[in-house]
Amino acid sequence: MSATVGTVYLVGAGPGDPGLLTVKGLACLQKAQVVVYDRLVSPRVLAHAPQQAERIYAGKSAAGHEMEQEEINALLAAKAKEGKVVVRLKGGDPFVFGRGGEEAERLAGEGVPFEIVPGVSSAIAAAAYAGIPVTHRDASSSFAVITGREDPGKAWTRIHWDKLAGGVGTLVVLMGVETLPETVAKLREHGMASHTPAAVIGWGTWPKQRTAVGTLADIVAKTKDAGIGAPAVTVIGEVVRLREKLRWFDSKPLFGRRVLVTRARTQASALAERLEELGAEAVEAAAIEILGPRDYVTLDRAMRKLPETQWAVFTSVNAVQWMMDRMESQGRDARSLAGVKVCAIGPATAASLRSRGIRADYVPEQFTTEAIMQGLGGEGRLEGQRIVLYQADIAPQDIVQALEGRGAQVQRVAAYQTVTPAGAAERAKQALAEGVDVITFTSSSTVEHLCALLGEGAAAAINRAKIASIGPITTRTAERLGVRVDATAEEHTIPGLVQAVLGLAKQG
């Protein structure tokens, strides 16, 4: 055992929406060496932990437990005694039916330091995401939260149904969809009117949230008809009537759509976050990973010849990053590009150059070979012009051939390489097997790598979903591989791609 005992942080991860993780919870996760997490923790939340952190699944459901509670208690203490920083990541709040009290008792008993980091409880959040306030000046001045699944070993219930039936404005039941008929029966038996409004919210705050609304007389049947199972939150009281006026989450334009994001994991967050802001479930299955070039020979040669170069063309943010980082490692800076005209493919690439002190001379409105050619040489010949293209290792050769056809001397530099991430094939196949509505492609390499990952029959598997492409070059690559593209972004950027996805959603 380590001489220094680590600390256990009992962290509430919130009910599902990764944006509901608290700032303190995020800080704990970012320094974790061990993460013990529950079934209802979003993968997006778990991704905040360091890559090298040990991840241990301790999920529980009505169907069974991955680990019994006593095993979890012992595990937390044992890992801390190894001198490690341990985060116990729990759905919702640790102390609202999360058994965090039992875990803290065990740690206290063994002299293990611990901290409690409260989380947003589904008791409040699920209702809010369904457009139901648990209190309201005109409808409810109190609310109570009860469990729908008491310890079966208890000799008697600790729930006072007689007081709940007439003593609180809003009743919230957690973990109670399986016992909903019994809950309704108990409340009616103790005098709650059959016409009392009720709602059951499945997967609250997740993009797959579903809500059934009725009264005590019919909510059981309506929940069954809606196919809502665990996890679910039940809300009973007059506040339920406000849902139709206040519903906001399930009215978003992409609500309920599953969108596959194939972009590299380090760059996927901007696209995923925007899609989720619009109500979609962003499924990240990175088809590529961005690495530096296999060697720097060509990149270094291009740098030495910059004084002889007329145009430097950067095709992506990655090209800027790897070329400029290499330049700085060699003791150079933006001054090396003095006298060289710079072309940036896309506003994001231009912005990346600006952050390095370089203003692009030309940013084509359309990211096509024709538009790039127009900016570099108009309709005329390019004899004597030396043009360097900073690209991915597998970038299409269309622009090279077109420039050389005009007489230019072109040097193509593989400034970075795209490789297949570990486990990518399994993640992609699982995502498609579970079903996606839209697949997004942000570059030719994302199309090529996804097809390679899926192997034989890739195009047929991909074509079962709608396809959105970031631009015509990516679209041409997809079509060459037999992938049908349903929408090509008019503006060849991430915001433009999101608009293309919205357009597909409107089509149904």
Nearest to 473 by CA among 425, 402, 412, 411: 402
Alpha helices (H) along 390-493 = 398-405, 424-434, 444-454, 458-462, 472-480
Annotated active-site residue 38? The verdict is yes
> Which residue among the candidates 175, 324, 327, 373 is catalytic per the annotation?
175
- In the numeric block, which tokens belong to residue 111? 């002299």
Residues 373, 73: Cα–Cα separation, whole Å: 65
Coil, strand, or helix at residue 207? coil
Residue 93 annotated in active site: no
Residue 342 vs residues 56, 199, 360: alpha-carbon distances, Å = 49, 59, 5
Q: Checking DSSP bridges between strand 438-441 and strand 466-469, what pairing results, if any?
A: parallel
Query: What DSSP element (H or E) covers 277?
Result: helix 265-277
Whether residue 437 lies in the annotated active site? no
Q: Which of the residues 38, 192, 222, 466 is marked catalytic?
A: 38
User: What crossing angle do the helices spanning 494-507 and 265-277 adopt, rounded to 10°?
Assistant: 50
Place of tokens 């008993």: 109
Amino acid found at 393: D
- Name the percent of the chain in helix, strand, coil, to the closest 5: 40, 20, 40
Q: In terms of C-beta distances under 8 Å and separation of at least 24 residues, what long-range contacts does 73-78 make, across chains too? A: 73/102, 73/103, 73/106, 73/107, 74/106, 75/36, 76/8, 76/36, 76/103, 76/106, 76/107, 76/112, 77/8, 77/106, 77/107, 77/110, 77/112
Question: Which residues are within 8 A (CB) of 102 and not within 5 positions of it... i.e. 6 or more apart?
Answer: 69, 73
Question: 24, 60, 252, 429: which is the annotated catalytic residue?
Answer: 60
Q: Helices 472-480 & 444-454, crossing angle to 10 degrees?
A: 20
Order of strands, sheet of 341-344, starting from the edge strand that comes earlier in the sequence:
289-291, 409-419, 386-392, 311-314, 341-344
Q: What stretch of H or E contains 234? A: strand 232-236
Q: Which residues contact 412 (CB under 8 A, 6 or more apart)?
A: 389, 391, 395, 397, 400
Q: What are phi and psi of 265, to 5 degrees?
A: -55, -40
What would the 3-class secondary structure string for 475-506 be? Answer: HHHHHHCCCCCCEECCCCCHHHHHHHHHHHHH
Provide the H-helix boundaries in 60-193: 69-81, 100-109, 122-129, 161-167, 180-189
Place of tokens 């919870």: 25
Contact 231, 98 (CB under 8 A): no
Question: What is the C-alpha separation between 382 and 291, in angstroms, rounded?
Answer: 33
Residues annotated as part of the active site: 38, 60, 175
